């Protein structure tokens, strides 16, 4: 078990399988032709993830849905962002095999499904940032970040983000 996986266990976090491209609502095939992540040299580019969890039928289920500042609170968004970060860690594990290969979380670009006038995206994305720092420690987990507002997100997700990670070859 890697050091990071031990830290996750101490935080009572069990990594799920990595999320999959979600199915199109009418034909059921994945909506996108992409992979969880791509390693180029020492950089891992992770695809966007949301706060899905594996459902009873092993499909990805968006447990928290909606817009921040309308039907969802900052606390709801924070919880969804935390789950999103767990999904990103599962994606890292799927791509790298060993989470101890992570040298540094470099950057998060986060998108918040926001009602007009909602201006607290940084507080929502702290759910992901706080989890990454807790799991990897401040030296590895602290990262640059952009918090962007969107009028809608896929699957009515409250948040979505992509990560750029430095890794050991």
- Of residues 25 and 110, the one with the higher pLDDT is 110
- Domain, as residue range, for 147: 3-167
Mapped onto helix, strand or coil, the DSSP state of residue 107 is strand
Number of domains in the chain: 1
Query: pLDDT tier at 20 (50, 70, 90 boundaries)?
Result: confident
CATH code, 82 = 3.30.1330.40
Provide the edge-to-edge strand list for the sheet that holds 144-150: 37-40, 43-49, 159-167, 102-113, 144-150
Give every CB contact of residue 36 below 8 A, 6+ residues apart in sequence: 18, 19, 46, 47, 91, 94, 95
What pLDDT is recorded for position 80? 98
**88: nearest Cα among 99, 79, 78, 77:** 99
Q: How far is the C-alpha of 136 from the C-alpha of 155, rounded, in Å?
A: 29
Mapped onto helix, strand or coil, the DSSP state of residue 150 is strand
Q: Is the pTM for the entire model greater than 0.75? A: yes
Contact 37, 91 (CB under 8 A): yes
What pLDDT is recorded for position 58? 83
pLDDT, mean of residues 18-36: 68
């Amino acid at each position: 078990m890697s050091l990071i996986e031990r830290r996750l266990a101490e935080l009572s976090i069990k990594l799920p399988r990595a999320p999959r491209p979600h199915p199109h609502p009418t034909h059921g095939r994945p909506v996108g032709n992409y992979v969880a992540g791509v390693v180029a040299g020492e950089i891992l580019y992770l695809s966007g993830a949301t706060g899905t969890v594996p459902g009873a039928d092993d499909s990805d289920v968006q447990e928290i849905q909606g817009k921040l500042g309308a039907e969802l609170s900052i606390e709801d968004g924070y919880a969804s962002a935390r789950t999103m970060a767990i999904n990103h860690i599962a994606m890292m594990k799927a791509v790298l095999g060993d989470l101890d290969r992570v040298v540094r979380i470099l950057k998060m670009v986060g998108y918040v499904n926001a009602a007009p006038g909602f201006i607290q995206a940084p507080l929502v994305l702290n759910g992901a940032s706080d989890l990454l720092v807790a799991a990897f420690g401040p030296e590895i987990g602290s990262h640059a970040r952009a918090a962007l507002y969107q009028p809608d997100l896929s699957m009515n997700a409250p948040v979505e983000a992509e990560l750029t990670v430095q890794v050991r070859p």
